[in-house]
Amino acid sequence: MLGYESIDISRPNIVPELKLFLQRHQLPLGKDSRTGITEMVSSVGHSCGKSTDLLSQYMSYKVFDRCPDDWSLGQKLILRACEPLPRRRCLAKTVQKQDLSKSPDSLWRSVSNKSVNWSGLGCKSFDCLKGKKLSKECVGCFDLGVEKDRFVKVKGKNDFLIDDVLGLGSGKIRIGFDISGGSGTFAARMAEKNVTVITNTLNNGAPFSEFIAARGLFPLFLSLDHRFPFLDNVFDLIHASSGLDVEGKAEKLEFLMFDLDRVLKPRGLFWLDNFYCANDEKKKELTRMIERFGYKKLKWVIGEKADAQVYLSAVLQKPVRA
């Protein structure tokens, strides 16, 4: 499953830097007694072998010089399951972070356009992004004036207040993981409650990662196809929305749910926030899967919004398994 096994580095279209990165390096003292390995290898996503032209383009640069301004190329490879990407020996483009505020003021302070790399994006300012629907989770989510009401004001019966959900955790919610993405507002509200939240995101159509970081929050630049880089049973809370439904395929959703279950601690809370049910079968399918995990339903609300579409919101508690 590693790139060094699935990529033929003898092919003529493989650039020298990629060959060097993928080379096996024998341990100078032979077999390591603790791990049993005899050589060091560099891992690259196995699907990178299907995008060797793009990968070679990504690895084409002058060593110790500035990297090409090609973050969007890297993301394109990630979205093709070429993840993790190989390391590079060049200096990433820097953008001067202007007018950044100290926490907690940074949570709701406007972010300067000059503190973001806009290359590869259609919009070149945050004003351009305001009001845009970038996903079901991000409708004008770069307008912090609008975002400020989220999680503290209820617009419909599917909306839960943060204080109510934290109360279900009996005061034991300290660290969380948000895969609903957006501009980091969930993590911002949790930060106000002294809860540290990591936000999983990619820059799909907008500079989500930079914006979240500018708010003083932790963005994790990772696709949902990648196994989460966390140990088992570490998070007190996981927050997810419609982005949970990876490509609408039941099998992919199951693999993702098992990984989320893995990193959630026993008695931890799984907050499913306004999950869009495209049809009744999708609702039943998700319900059956949740029941198979044995989660306790602390909150469970199914309702329609103004667009007549059906949404499921729930707070579930992971059981203690022997």
Could you read off the pLDDT of 212-270 as tens digits, one per residue? 999 999 999 999 988 999 999 999 999 999 878 766 678 888 999 999 999 999 999 99
* 166 — pLDDT class (breaks 50, 70, 90): very high
Q: Which is more confidently placed, 151 or 303?
A: 151
Per-residue model confidence (pLDDT) at position 25:
76
Per-residue model confidence (pLDDT) at position 242:
83
Structure confidence by residue, pLDDT tens digits, 298-310: 999 998 776 668 8
Per-residue model confidence (pLDDT) at position 103:
87
Rounded CA separation 158/147 (Å): 17
Element (H, E) at 146: helix 144-147
pLDDT cut 70: percent of the chain above it = 95
Give me the chain's average pLDDT, please.
Answer: 89
CATH number of 105-317: 3.40.50.150
Rounded CA separation 200/223 (Å): 8
What are the DSSP calls for 29-85, one per residue?
TSS-TTT--SEE----BGGGGGGHHHHHHHT-S-TTSBPPS-HHHHHHHHHTT--SP
| Residue 12 tokens, joined | 């003529």
Structure confidence by residue, pLDDT tens digits, 170-211: 888 999 999 987 899 999 999 999 999 999 999 999 999 999
Per-residue model confidence (pLDDT) at position 197:
98
Per-residue model confidence (pLDDT) at position 253:
87
Per-residue model confidence (pLDDT) at position 285:
85
Are 265 and 234 within 8 A, CB to CB? yes
Residue 4 has pLDDT above 70, yes or no: no
Rounded CA separation 260/253 (Å): 10
- What residue ranges do the domains of the chain occupy? 3-79, 105-317
Per-residue model confidence (pLDDT) at position 6:
59
Q: Which of 22-26, 32-36, 63-67, 94-98 has the highest mean pLDDT?
A: 63-67
Q: Any idea what DSSP says for residue 200?
A: E
Nearest partner of 1 among 36, 49, 37, 33, judged by Cα: 49
